[in-house]
């Protein structure tokens, strides 16, 4: 399989942080097409900041970014605004942690789901709607037509997250950045969403960077995992291998930190 994303010595420093404290401190990893990589680490370790830099959502006025991010062989660090806009929602999509606050409260779900099409294609209204209904169905939402016309506050968190996923996959992206997409949901819904992501990954050959602070959730979805601590990658490799034989004290603690109820489920 060919390499989709290659990150080398990525370094991110926020202007308002202490000079020696880098939010992301020289990390390197790569993701192949259709691959799923788990990224775990405690709160504040730099997972979100890493993901945001991959899709151009890091505010360049607030932070210095150096190193290299190659997406399909093209450099994203210091690239043009237009190039980033052309990738966002087309080749690279994002699913965020809080589905409720991540949706525009005054816009119908359907219009939000088809938004990437509105931005990136010349499809007519009807064509967009048909694709949105299909995406909602792909995200396993019952009654897509009904959901299409609802507003965010009328759906449950799990349903909303499915709609967010539908919006993210509608344009068949090569890479999905999923930043703790299940953390705000309860455990049974979590498992369903993980299954859905797995299905979408296999059916569409869509690579996923799956971020979580929960190694057990990562284990359900990913084969490969990278462990982050204070901006650095401290361990990377096969999930089961790492579970069996964690090299770092930090990783051991991450494994141990999971409530037993979730351990049993996984």
Ligand X SMILES: Nc1ncnc2c1ncn2[C@@H]1O[C@H](COP(=O)(O)OP(=O)(O)OP(=O)(O)O)[C@@H](O)[C@H]1O
CA distance 2 to 44: 32
- Is residue 93 a contact residue for Mg ion (CB under 5 A)? no
The pair of three-digit structure tokens given for residue 210, joined into one six-digit string? 């799956």
Part in contact with ligand X (CB under 6 A); list of ranges 37-45, 80-88, 150-158, 185-193: 37-45
Could you say which of Mg ion, another protein, ligand X, none residue 253 binds, taking C-beta under 5 to 8 angstroms by partner kind? Answer: none
* Min separation Cβ 185 and ligand X, Å: 15
Nearest to 90, CA basis, from 147, 174, 3? 174
Decide: 72 and 173 in contact? Cβ < 8 Å. Answer: no
Comparison of 95 and 239: residue with beta carbon closer to another protein? 95
Q: Which residues contact 169 (CB under 8 A, 6 or more apart)?
A: 93, 135, 138, 139, 176, 200, 204, 206
- Is residue 88 a contact residue for another protein (CB under 8 A)? yes
Residues in 94-113 at the binding interface with another protein, rule: CB under 8 A: 94, 96, 98, 101-107, 112
* Min separation Cβ 115 and another protein, Å: 5
CA distance 12 to 25: 7
* Min separation Cβ 216 and another protein, Å: 26
Part in contact with Mg ion (CB under 5 A); list of ranges 44-52, 65-73, 184-192, 194-202: 44-52
In this structure, the dihedral spanned by the alpha carbons of residues 208, 200, 71 and 53, taken in order and rounded to 10 degrees, is -50
DSSP 194: H
Q: Which residues contact 78 (CB under 8 A, 6 or more apart)?
A: 65
- Is residue 253 a contact residue for ligand X (CB under 6 A)? no
Interface mask (CB under 8 A) for another protein, residues 114-153, using x and -?
Answer: -xx--xx------------------------------x-x
Residues engaged in binding ligand X (CB under 6 A): 14, 16-17, 23, 41, 43-49, 62, 213
């Amino acid at each position: 399989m060919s390499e989709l994303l290659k990150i080398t010595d990525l370094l991110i420093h926020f202007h308002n942080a202490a000079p020696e404290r880098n939010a992301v401190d020289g990390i390197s990893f790569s993701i192949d097409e259709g691959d799923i990589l788990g990224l775990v680490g405690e709160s504040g370790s730099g997972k979100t900041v890493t993901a945001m830099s991959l899709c151009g959502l890091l505010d360049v006025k607030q932070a210095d970014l150096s190193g290299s991010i190659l997406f399909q062989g093209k450099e994203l660090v210091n690239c043009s605004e237009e190039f980033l806009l052309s990738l966002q929602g087309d080749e690279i999509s994002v699913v965020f942690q809080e589905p409720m606050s991540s949706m525009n409260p005054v816009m119908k779900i359907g219009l939000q789901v088809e938004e990437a099409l509105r931005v990136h294609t010349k499809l007519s209204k009807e064509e967009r709607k048909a694709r949105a209904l299909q995406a909602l169905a792909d995200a396993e939402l019952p009654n897509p037509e009904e959901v299409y016309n609802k507003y965010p506050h009328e759906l449950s968190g799990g349903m909303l997250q499915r709609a967010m996923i539908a919006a993210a996959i509608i344009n068949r992206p090569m890479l999905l950045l999923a930043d703790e997409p299940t953390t705000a949901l309860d455990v049974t819904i979590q498992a369903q969403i993980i299954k859905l992501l797995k299905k979408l990954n296999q059916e569409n050959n869509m690579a996923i960077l799956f971020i979580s602070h929960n190694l057990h959730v990562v284990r359900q979805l990913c084969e490969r995992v990278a462990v982050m601590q204070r901006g650095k990658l401290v361990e990377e490799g096969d999930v089961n291998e790492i579970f069996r034989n964690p090299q770092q004290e930090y990783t051991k603690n991450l494994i141990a930190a999971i409530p037993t109820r979730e351990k049993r489920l996984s």
